[in-house]
Amino acid sequence: MVHWEATERQTITSFWGKVDLAAQGENSLQRLLYVNPWCCRYFHKFGDLSTISAIRKNSHVRAHGTKVLSALGDCIPHLGDIKGHLAPLSKLHCETLHVDPANFYLLGKIITIVLASHFGAKFTPEVQATFEKLVAVVAAALSSQYH
Amino acid sequence: MTFTHEDEVHIGEACKLLTQIPHAGGEALARMFAAYPGTKSYFLKFGGFKASDDKVIQHGKKVVDALVQASQHLHDLEGQMHPLSVKHATELMVDPVNFEHLSHCIHVTIAAHHGEKYTAEMHRSLDKFLEKVSSVLVCLYR
């Protein structure tokens, strides 16, 4: 079980309240697919992802980015047991989606960069450290049911 | 790894954004120390690890200056960075994973100061550059 300081919980809740799930979700997935193009292997159904302009025009990217960031947000009421909360999604990613767990860590880093872009100077080193902890815990939880 | 003409342009743009940030290197280091506390183990003499600490600012400037210098020699990074490769292999011996941590914090620093001006195109090319720089810094380790 992961221990969260009161300040960490407060930081996560107050910053997450100002996240635009569609805008930051889309931005995160766009950057994941463009900066790390091998991640496109999981999204053949999305169609053309071969260039940044194709990725930007792709409506599936916006929809899926929103879905992914919403799922991250849904972990926040369950900070005390993210592993339990994400067990079904972890199973899905292993048994149905067959996603290499390394991608969870990659996406976590991209989300951190996108949050920094959105919040600017308010995204201090201490705030960054809290969100790095959150995305690392989420990535580990999503990996936990792999077999 | 090869750098395309577009990479050269975007790396130049990203380095320009980086150098427009006051004490960018110090901030990137401070972010790394906060998010990855194990990295402090290489800097025990610093005394402090905040972005406002003098030694963090000084070392950060060294790092950014070296990156900007390297960015002007994209087609001979091994040659241009050879003295730094020797230093890291023989004296500093920084675990290679830490270059990824600092590279990530450089992206975060640029994003925090420049928002969407730091485009996906610049992000990708700078990431390629930082990955190559990291591999050059460890290329003499064994």
Burial letters B14-39, b for 16+ CB under 10 A, else e: bbebbeebebbbbbbbbbbbbbbeeb
pLDDT digits (tens, 9 = 90+) for A55-110: 999 999 999 999 999 999 999 999 999 999 999 999 999 999 999 999 999 999 99
pLDDT band at A10 (very low <50, low <70, confident <90, very high): very high
Residues of chain A contacting B35 with CB distance shorter than 8 Å: 125, 128-129, 132
Q: Is there a contact between B35 and A118 if contact means CB atoms under 8 Å apart?
A: no
Q: So what's the pLDDT on residue A80?
A: 94
Q: So what's the pLDDT on residue B1?
A: 79
The whole-model pTM stands at 0.95
Q: Is there a contact between A117 and B112 if contact means CB atoms under 8 Å apart?
A: yes
List of residues 6+ apart from A71 with CB closer than 8 A: A89
- B40 close contact with A: CB closer than 8 A: no
Residues of chain B contacting A121 with CB distance shorter than 8 Å: 112-113
* Token digits of residue A90: 């972890």
Rounded Cα gap, residues B44 and A126, in angstroms: 20
Over residues A8-20, mean pLDDT: 98
Q: Is there a contact between B118 and A117 if contact means CB atoms under 8 Å apart?
A: yes
Complex-level ipTM beyond the 0.90 threshold: yes
Nearest CB to B112; choose among A52, A55, A121: A121
Q: Is there a contact between A35 and B123 if contact means CB atoms under 8 Å apart?
A: yes
Angle between helices A125-143 and B24-35 (to 10 degrees): 40
Residue type, B40: K
What φ, ψ does residue B14 adopt, rounded to 5°?
Answer: -65, -40
List of residues 6+ apart from B22 with CB closer than 8 A: none
Q: So what's the pLDDT on residue A35?
A: 97
Q: So what's the pLDDT on residue A7?
A: 97
- B118 close contact with A: CB closer than 8 A: yes
Residue of A nearest to B100 (CA): A109
Residue of B nearest to A36 (CA): B124
Per-residue pLDDT 10s for chain B (142 aa) are 799 999 999 999 999 999 999 999 999 999 999 999 999 999 999 999 999 999 999 999 999 999 999 999 999 999 999 999 999 999 999 999 999 999 999 999 999 999 999 999 999 999 999 999 999 999 999 9
* Token digits of residue A4: 């969260």
* Token digits of residue B100: 């990824």
Q: So what's the pLDDT on residue A1?
A: 82
